Amino acid sequence: MAKNKEEKKEKVAQYDASSITVLEGLEPVRKRPGMYIGTTGPDGLHHLITEIFDNSRDEAMGGFCTDIEVALLPNNRVRVVDNGRGIPVDTHKSTKVSALETIMTTLHAGGKFGGEGYKVSGGLHGVGASVVNALSIYLEVVVHRDGGVFMQEYKQGKRKALVKKIGKSDLHGTLVTFEPDKEIFKEGVEFNFDRVVTHMRQQAYLVKGLRISVIDARALPEVDTADVFYLRELGLEVPSHTFYFEGGLLSLVKHYNEHFKSIHKSIFYVEKKVEGVESVEIALQYVDDISSRVMPFANNIHTPDGGTHVTGFKTALTRTLNSYARKNEYIKESEENFTGEDVLEGLTAVISVKLREIQFEGQTKAKLGSVEAQSAVATVFGEFFTAFLEENPDDARAMVSKVILALKARKAAKAAKDSVLRKGALEGMTLPGKLADCETKSAEEAEVFIVEGDSAGGSAKQGRDRRTQAILPLRGKVLNVERARLDKILAFAEIKALVIALGTGISDSFDVSRLRYHKVIIATDADVDGAHIRTLLLTLFFRYFRQLIDGGFIYIAQPPLYKVKRGKEFYYFYSDEEKNTFLKKEGIEVKDAEEEAEEGQETEEVEAPASPKATQGKPKSTKVSIQRYKGLGEMNPDELWETTMDPEHRVLKQVTVEDAQDADKVFDILMGEDVPARKSFIQSNATKATLDI
């Protein structure tokens, strides 16, 4: 006992001031990067561009900048240039080094915390440039101002030398070039050009009169940018886009609705300054669709998780439409009011607020927390939307009719949903008869394979691991839910079976914690029909089970395309390239696709070189059998297990959505009713498709 007391005393004694680690400068950022950029995966990597760009965009919002260029360079570098005022380079009184170095190496340092440097800014945490600097293996800042050109370089947040003047200039602006540190971004440092373009297009809509250029110069030899302000001045023949919109949010709403049929002529728009808020700007339009698209921004930063400005908007929208409908007797006294769900159906709206003192919930700024935004948005929008409805009676009638239709559909869908859930409860939550369930009750280790047809279902049921793997065969193609309401969806037997099997419920009764399988695996055939069924299922999951995608529960199985058998040995290949590489390596003649198509054989035999094990110098020819799988039903249970279902050897692709707005638009185009748009999309992306002919 005495010994234990001594040990305890010794441990307590060791915990003193010397045990406390103090991280100085930008060390905290490198130690815990996720606290500052959310993640060190692709999202965090692209967030670096956003942080540097936001500084330039804030110059534009202040009226000091009209032109920004973002360029992807060789060696994973990014260059952001603006024609703003240029970061000050004179000595800062407190830090005793240049203002440039102070901004680039000190957390919470910038021109946005007070004074008149910026009336409106998104970068009020003051960590943007310094965090990018800390997480970059190389960063260079060039400043044009006061008749000179000034430059400073950094590595992992530390300066290489003091700021130096490198020339004269009549220009003004800031050029930042940085290269992310592979030590931090272990998943890779390669930027997605389309993702950058999408973000910059959005920003151009939000700042009227700002020109934003995006250039992909990665394929070129290393470009010497020392004497070049804008790279486009070099006339490079590389992918590039330039965005400039005078219409602001009006143009953005038109852009989002270009593939939909609007139900009213005029797009509602208001922009107004109120006490405590620099600007409330809102544009909206209803279209013939059942989904809603509400894009909120705070100081031009997209806030996907909403916040106080969205709460104010939804409250005022519901109240205003209810008041108008009651006043004009579209709703009788005995009838219930519209709900928030009703008024959002088919709505495309962009909400943008600009505040001097802004508060986000979290460093990544996904949700606005500023209390004053809620009342400002509710007041401005309520007043001007009421006037819009009174002044545009035809548009108002179309809007209210749309909402009444949504209310009726909601009631019908609730009745259908309750019927499904009630039926499940009456049957003791009986699972669908076609479902071959697994034995484990642990959702974490359970997985369900959604397979195409009874033949594939039969093979999968025989080949599976019964303890952890469930099989749900689907007959035929499921309903395209893109424009179907919930009552129609739940009347479709295959979808109803899937909803009950998953256990989460659907719509407002959805609860991800009740999910019965933590791997939901789509296993369709490797042909056109299989791809179509897979697309229909992904549409269903995206529209009604989005949390399953966000939670990483949805997967796509990768069954092999070929089985190559040589004597007693056999190999599986998942692409033509894999198969052909193997055959060439073995010295086996590979027929081209046209010859194979002419023969029309699913299994073919070709002559192979003699086996090296042939005895007494008498080589014997070995037949190589190549089998092309068209569907999972063609595999016997053992083959299906070892290639597609065995966790030790299978290949699964996890379904993710990097940009929900882009994904939403693609689903609208591919699965909606705009045939010309779908045709154009397919023609534009045909070269990216893998065809099965």
User: Is 527 a known active-site residue?
Assistant: yes
d(CA 501, CA 71): 48
Distance CA 369, CA 161 (A): 40
Burial class (CB in 10 A: 0-12, 13-18, 19+), 565: middle
| DSSP helix/strand/coil, 262 | strand
Residue carrying structure tokens 């998953």: 502
Report the greatest alpha carbon distance in the chain. 102
Q: Phi/psi at 247 (nearest 5 deg)?
A: -80, -15
The helix (H) or strand (E) run that includes residue 565 is strand 562-566
| Side-chain half-sphere exposure of 678, counting CA atoms within 13 A | 10
Length of the chain: 693
Which residue in the list 525, 634, 639, 668 is annotated as catalytic? 525
Helices (H), 293-392: 308-327, 340-344, 371-391
The Cβ-side half-sphere exposure at 232, using a 13 Å CA radius, reads: 16
Examine the residue annotation and report whether 418 is marked as an active-site residue of this protein.
no
Contact 300, 122 (CB under 8 A): yes
Query: Helix axis angle, 42-61 relative to 193-206, nearest 10°?
Result: 30
275 is a catalytic site residue: no
Give the whole-angstrom CA distance, residue 608 versus residue 623: 6
- For the beta carbon of residue 310, count every other beta carbon within 10 angstroms: 23
| Residue 508 designated active-site | no
Helix, strand, coil abundance in the chain, percent, nearest 5: 40, 20, 40
Q: Which residues fall within 8 angstroms of residue 9, CB to CB, at 6 or more apart?
A: none
Contact 290, 320 (CB under 8 A): no
Amino acid at 434: K
- List the catalytic residue out of 452, 482, 494, 634: 452
Residue 231's CB is within 10 A of a number of other CB atoms, namely: 22
Instruction: Give me the active site residues, please.
Output: 452, 525, 527, 529
